[in-house]
Every structure is written in structure tokens, then in C-alpha cells.
Amino acid sequence: MLFSSISFLYYFLPSVLLIYFVVPKKWRNLVLLVFSLFFYFCGEPVYTLLLVFSSISDYLHSLFIEKYRGTKKARAIMISSVVINLATLGFFKYTDFFISNINFLFGTDIPLLKIPLPIGISFFTFQTMSYSIDVYRGDVKAEKNLLTMGTYVCLFPQLVAGPIVRYQTIAEELQSRTHSLERFASGITRFAVGLGKKVLLANTLGELGSILGKSDATVLSCWLCAFAFALQIYFDFSGYSDMAIGLGAMFGFTFPENFNYPYISTSITEFWRRWHMTLGSWFRDYIYIPLGGNRVSKPKWLRNIFIVWFVTGFWHGASWNFIIWGLFFGVLLTLEKLFYADFLKRHRIFAHIYTLFAVLISFVIFNVDASYGISGTLLGMFGFGGVSAVSAESVYYLRSYAVLLIIGIIAATPLPKIAANKIFSLAGNGKNAALAIVQPVFCGLILILCTGFLIDNSFNPFLYFRF
């Protein structure tokens, strides 16, 4: 079930909100758990058992880690938790990748298992794994209530696509949450912003990319496709994160931010401080720093960077283009840190162009299926391989979607937020009254527009479901 679907907006969400606020506070976690399991069951009936298994497994592991804290047994139990999580993720996500590469290298004919990928497995395995590690480190106490643990793991707002919420972030709110009309209203507004990003921008940009992908390639169409996908994946994923954060606020949770206008960055280092922030911090705290981070010799530091970026790429998908994508960023980050970080700080206009160009190329790599496709697409963008510069068709699509692309570029910057704050600041003492009028009108308008788009158009993918 997608957040951006009629069934979620008009059936699931009103039902869970109504029951949640009607029942006594002590039953609210149970309501969330039951509805969260139903939410997952609607998309993955069989794999709901996998989600329950993951919750119980790390619940039990954490209890034993705390029981044997300070002993070798605790370390062994923590390793057991990590192994089970990685084995689960590896089996469902990477088995066919390894089989196909073994077949290619050794000429074997091992049949692929063709196992369907459980939705959100990359997210909830990382959450449960970080929980066990944090208990082992002593950062949090083991949760003794299985219902509370299950609510944390299965919480539907962040279950299938993040942000990656660590247990310590919402541990207190799992026990006792504060609800207010103001917080609920801010959650609705944040959800509406995310819904608009997803349905009105990402879906429409995705249609453009789909159309261009089927047309004859020209330099113009290749660049249009690259721009469209870069904007689509940002609005798709950041929109979903906005919806998750908004839903969390409605239920009294404070989820971490996941995006901070990454396309205004002036270096790749800055870009990754702004893009998928919870994933970046996860790899930093659970892989990069334990390996020694940058407090080691230069060869080991370079090793640490490339391990992290290999894993980052591989986490995104069981395909070589994702690994190449991750290592591409690893190379750029290394070059920045070693050679030209100071230059980028002194020449911000050039730095911004360089960053956008590199990110655009990276998403071309990200969006293709194989290394051959990567080279063919990149060569096409620069006119190699007999690709013509323009065609009547590519010019037609540029004209047809120019307004959408301009809107997308502006919406990917802080300008709309700055403008809104400026307008409300002019209201002075009447700011609260203005907000009380504008916010409901804005949310209602977004809901009406998105509903119309969803009813009229069946094109409603979510890119990160495949991860």
C-alpha cells in the first residue's frame, strides 16, 4: 500500500487515526502495531511473517545481550543478531545476483531462485540491527515489552522506505507521547507537502522519463531523461520521507530529517550530508567509525571510504550499476578530500556546477540496468556513437515539459519555503491567524489535486520499493 494511493488516503489513514485517538492511551501502541502489520500485509501477505520474525529475533537478542552485558557471551549474541539480519537481507536481496555472476564467471547453469524482494527489507533490517548494536554498546537499554518493540520495528509511517529511525531516537515516545492540535496540524501540512512532491512532481517527471526512454536517443533526449530522473528520484524519495515525518507527527513521534535540499550543494561531501541523511549517518556510525574512520593511516582511511561506498551502492540494489554508482561517489569524495576541497570552497559557482554535473552523471549510472547501458547512455549524452544532437520529437518534449522542469528545479531549492516564511512574516501579529486559514486551504487543495491525478492516472510508482 502506497501513501500516495486512494486506499491509503481515504480508507486506511482515517481508520487508524479514528481508532488511535478513541482508545485509551495504553492501547495506542497496540493499535499502531495491528494497523502496521495490516499495512504491510496488504503489500506482502507472506513476508509479514518475516517482519514479525525480525522483530522477535532482535527483541530476544537484545534481552540476552543485556543479561550477559560485559561478557564474551554478549558480544557473541550481538554478532548473532547482525549475522541473522545480514543473512536475511542477503538471501532475499542478493542470492540471484551471486548466482548469475557465478554462472557468468564459471560457465555454470545454476537456476535462479527468482525470490520476490520483501518490501522495505533494506530499511527494517538496518533498524533492527542498529537496535541490537546500540544495546550492546550501552547506548540504549533493551526493550522488555515485546509490544513496544514490535511497534518500533513495524511502525507503518517509516516501515517500507524510511527514514531509518533508530530506537534511541523514539524510545521515550514509544513509552509516552505528547499530542497537540498544533503538532497534528503541522504533521498534516508536512504530509501534504510530501504528497504533492510525490504525485504532482515525481510521478509526472517519471512519465517524461518513461516516454524519453522509449524514443530514439538524441543528445537532447538523453540530457532531458537525466534531468527528469534526477528530479524524479529526489521528489519521490524526499516526498515519501516528508509524508513519513508528517504521519509520525500526527501520532506523536519525531522522526529525523532525511533530506535538506541536496541540489544546492557545492561539493559531493556536502551533497551526502543533505541526501538520505539517515542512511549516511547509519553507515558512518556502524561501519565507517568502527573501521577507524579517518583516525588511521592514509591507506586504511582510503580503504574505509571505499568499503563504505561499496556497501552504500550494494545496499541500493543487487546489480553492478549500483556498485559502480557507490564507488563513483567514493572516488569523487576521496579526490575532494585529498586535492580540491579548498578550491571548491573558494569558487562556489564552479563548485555548484561541478556538483550538479557529477550528481547528474551518478543518477544516469544509478538508473540503468547494466554496465553496457551505462557506457551507451553516457556516450549518448555527449553525442558519441552516432547519436544526433536533437530531433523534432525531443524538442517537442522539451517544450511540453519545460514548465514542469522549471517548477521542479525551483521546488528542489529552499526558495518556496523562504518565500512562504517571508509572506507570513509580513502578517506580523496576524501570522497565526493567517496560518490557521492558509494551512487548511493549502492541504485541502493539495489533496484535491492529488486525488484527481491518482484517479485519472495509474502511473504511481515508488522507486525505493525496489531497495
So what's the pLDDT on residue 415? 94
Instruction: Point out the residues that are catalytic.
Output: 316
Last residue of a domain, one of 177, 210, 230: 177
**Which stretches of the chain score pLDDT less than 70?**
369-373, 427-431, 458-467
Local structure of 368: helix, strand or coil: coil
Please indicate, yes or no, if residue 221 is contained in any of the structural domains: yes
So what's the pLDDT on residue 372? 44
Q: Pull the grid cell for residue 263.
A: 541540489
Q: What is the pLDDT of residues 185-208, one digit of tens each?
A: 999 999 999 999 999 999 999 888
Per DSSP, the residues of 401-424 read HHHHHHHHHHHTSSHHHHHHHHHH
Both 133 and 265 in one domain: the answer is no
Distance CA 46, CA 68 (A): 34
Both 187 and 167 in one domain: the answer is no
So what's the pLDDT on residue 277? 96
* Total domains present in the chain: 2
Report whether 201 contacts 235 (CB < 8 A). Answer: yes
Q: If you compute the radius of gyration of the chain from its CA atoms, what whole number of angstroms results?
A: 23
Q: What is the pLDDT of residues 240-296, one digit of tens each?
A: 999 999 999 999 999 999 999 999 999 999 999 999 999 999 999 999 999 999 999
Q: What is the pLDDT of residues 387-427, one digit of tens each?
A: 888 988 989 999 999 999 999 999 999 999 998 888 777 76
Both 212 and 141 in one domain: the answer is no
Place of cell 495491528: 34
So what's the pLDDT on residue 384? 84
Structure letter (DSSP) for residue 287: I
Both 173 and 188 in one domain: the answer is no
Both 227 and 92 in one domain: the answer is no
Both 202 and 317 in one domain: the answer is yes
Report whether 32 contacts 12 (CB < 8 A). Answer: no
So what's the pLDDT on residue 359? 96
Distance CA 144, CA 125 (A): 20
Q: What is the extent of the structural domain holding 285?
A: 183-466
Report whether 155 contacts 174 (CB < 8 A). Answer: no
Q: 185 pairs with which residues across the strands?
A: none
